[in-house]
Amino acid sequence: MGLPNGVDIQLKLEYLQHSGTFKARGATHFLVRNSVGPAGVVAASGGNHGAAVAWAAAQRGIPANIFVPTISSPAKVERLRSYGAIVHQVGAVYGESLVASQDFQRASGATAIHAYDHPDVMAGAGTTALEFVDQVGGMDAMLLACGGGGLSGGAACAVGERTEIVVCEGDTTNAYAAAKHAGVPTDVAVSGVTADALGATQIGGLAWSALSSVNAPSALVPDDAVIEARQLLWDRLRIVVEPAVATTIAALRTGAYEAAPDERIGVVLCGANTSLTDLT
């Protein structure tokens, strides 16, 4: 696959999860642990968290209002609507959608489900890593795409003391890398091919605490490497993932994460709410 020789790479096909991403875990865990009134739930999302909330709410007959930015892919918006959610496309980036969702929550009394910065959501996401280790056994490192940090932060809490958690981001969706450089969460400008899924302008506080506690390394990759890695997954394995998800494979291919020849690496392919139209 154009990956480092001699490295044992295990792929977790989390894009096969309900709603197309790992985020079904966090949304479900939140709804199991929290009561919801007649106004239902509201969430802001690049698309994937919204789809997970819409799916989990539909299973329980709960109304869902989902706010997404205008850059969210049509595939994600269509999936949201397929679950019966009321979709609001507001703002150019996730942060602007979040503000609009907060205004809606205050006016409606709906229960807000944050995309990543809530302990129940992050704990649910962390079951991805727990399950991965249970399925394939121990591994030296686990590579995960990161936007706001729910998945990587949850993984750090779940298995970070025994497995290195490698945080993979695009050069222009680098909330964790910027925080690591500054020593505190800091705002970043968001753009590029990974922005619709990794569009958080700041790493979540819970994720930052969890990732800092295990000193998780950062792996940054450029857009062209992401595009090539995504195409490679399709060409060699007939796996279709979102561009953001391919940051993990790109990190291995570019050396942004340098795997030793005898390492056992886990790679979470965490979402596939995308279209085939931009694959050759």
Say how far apart CA 37 and CA 227 lie, in whole Å. Answer: 43
Q: Which of 221, 218, 211 is nearest to 172 (CA)?
A: 221
Mean pLDDT on 170-181: 97
Q: Which residues fall within 8 angstroms of residue 167, CB to CB, at 6 or more apart? A: 144, 146, 149, 152, 176, 177, 211, 216, 217, 218, 219
Q: How confident is the model at residue 200 (pLDDT cuts 50, 70, 90)?
A: confident
Give the model's pLDDT for residue 46: 79
The structural domains of the chain, ordered by start, are 8-19+119-278 (3.40.50.1100), 23-112 (3.40.50.1100)
pTM (2 d.p.): 0.92
- Average pLDDT across the chain, whole number: 94
Each residue of 225-235: pLDDT tens digit? 999 999 999 99
Based on the number of CB atoms within 10 Å of its own CB, is 14 exposed (0-12), middle (13-18) or buried (19 or more)?
Answer: buried
Tokens of 29: 């865990």
Task: Tell me the C-alpha distance between 171 and 169, whole Å.
Answer: 6
CA–CA distance, 187 with 161 (Å, rounded to integer): 28
